[in-house]
Amino acid sequence: MAVPAGEVILTGDRPTGPLHLGHYAGSLRSRLALQAANSMTLLVADLQALTDNAGRQLDVPQNVLEVVADYLAIGIDPSRTVIALQSAIPELAELTIHYLNLVTVARLERNPTVREEIELRGFRRDIPAGFLAYPVSQAADITAFRATLVPVGSDQLPMIEQANEIARRLAHIAGAPVLPECRALLSGTPRLPGVDGRKASKSLGNAIALGARPEEIRRAVQAMYTDPDHLRVSDPGKVEGNVVFAYLDAFDPDRQEVGELKARYRRGGLGDSALKHRLDGVLQALIEPIRGRREEAIADPAGLMEIIRDGTERSREVAAGVLADVRAVFRLPTLKRNPERRG
Ligand code: TRP
């Protein structure tokens, strides 16, 4: 894939805890290649993290620090890439309010990703309105930065489509384009499975964190699901659905060697323990420097907060400009500030 240049890039993560190798393979890694030649903002989407936890309290302050430490650990450079906190940008909330008038409930219910989540949770008419509407809030995130390119996983394509629909609706009302439309940038690597072969997720405890200790990495690799019918070393084994190969595909720099290992595994004569030994080496080498930088970052919470504060302030300036344009479309009055009033 040719690395894009000159784009306005916006993407985000829900701060629900430390990021893991699934995030790394799916999107974090590609952001590194992007930050050199593009204007990029990473939004820590703490409000969105609340939408599917209606009425609950998350440890947002700690989770935000974890995510920012992860960014720095993988090599995100805050002097190039803006790191911003969603809940500290009130312009996003107001944009969401305006966009909600441009979207029907029927359209929201058709969003395939939201539909899947509704089904998973068994919501009917008891669905929290904020949860149903989170794609609208995400459209605010995307448009507030005038993003042209949004790196995401394929589950996020419906969000981008909805953001573009909103941009077109607004252009139709205004009689001229107000917001740019954006494209998705898909990672190209298939979704990394969890250690047990299910979807990698923190709540299932089947993911390897970016800050994992050597022992944790070793244990996770030991526990990886392979091919249950591959009993003896000499038996032919299955590569498809084999988690060890999924990780080797994602992280082993020696593609040719991985190809040969697959052939040997299929033929028979390659044991799981030799395979896991190789993967352990690959992951230890990958994670060691990340863990080091992560520990350094997390030891300086004030420094992390300063990075977020600076990025959030810069983001608010951009978002305020977009908000003014959107307010103008709806002919909302702007009140002048009374200069006599203090505070
Ligand atoms: N929905 C995204 C996720 O769950 C996170 C996100 C929030 C996002 N706002 C965004 C992604 C804006 C891209 C653009 O991973």
Tens-digit pLDDT profile for residues 86-145? 999 999 999 999 999 999 999 999 999 999 999 989 999 999 999 999 999 999 999 999
The pLDDT, as a whole number, for residue 87 is 98
State both tokens at 192. Answer: 């990394």
Mean pLDDT for the stretch of residues 55-69 = 92
Say what percent of the chain tops pLDDT 70: 99
Q: Is the dihedral of CA 110, 114, 119, 123 positive or negative?
A: negative
The pLDDT, as a whole number, for residue 43 is 98
Expressed in angstroms and rounded, the spacing between residue 143 Cα and the centre of ligand 1 is: 12
**Of all atoms in ligand 1, which is nearest to the CA of residue 153?**
15
Q: Ligand 1: which of 9, 159, 199 to mutate, most ligand atoms within 8 Å of CB? A: 159
For the chain, the distance separating the N- and C-terminal CA atoms, rounded to the nearest angstrom, is 52
Mean pLDDT over the full length of the chain: 95
Indicate whether residue 141 lines ligand 1 (CB < 6 A): yes
The pLDDT, as a whole number, for residue 248 is 97
Indicate whether residue 43 lines ligand 1 (CB < 6 A): yes
Expressed in angstroms and rounded, the spacing between residue 121 Cα and the centre of ligand 1 is: 20
Domains and CATH numbers, the chain: 8-192+301-329 (3.40.50.620), 214-296 (1.10.240.10)
141-177: buried (b, 16+ CB within 10 Å) or exposed (e) per residue?
Answer: bbbbbbbbbbbbbeebebbbebbbbbbeebeeeeeee
The pLDDT, as a whole number, for residue 1 is 60
Mean pLDDT for the stretch of residues 215-238 = 96
Considering only CA atoms, which residue is closest to atom 13 of ligand 1? 11
Tens-digit pLDDT profile for residues 270-302? 999 999 999 999 999 999 999 999 999 999 999
Amino acid at residue number 208: I
Expressed in angstroms and rounded, the spacing between residue 275 Cα and the centre of ligand 1 is: 35
Q: At residue 39, does pLDDT exceed 80?
A: yes
Expressed in angstroms and rounded, the spacing between residue 223 Cα and the centre of ligand 1 is: 31
Considering only CA atoms, which residue is closest to atom 7 of ligand 1? 12
| Least confident piece of the model among 13-27, 32-46, 188-202 | 188-202
The pLDDT, as a whole number, for residue 217 is 98
The pLDDT, as a whole number, for residue 171 is 98
Q: At residue 253, does pLDDT exceed 90?
A: yes
Expressed in angstroms and rounded, the spacing between residue 136 Cα and the centre of ligand 1 is: 11
Contacts of 97 (CB under 8 A, 6+ apart): none
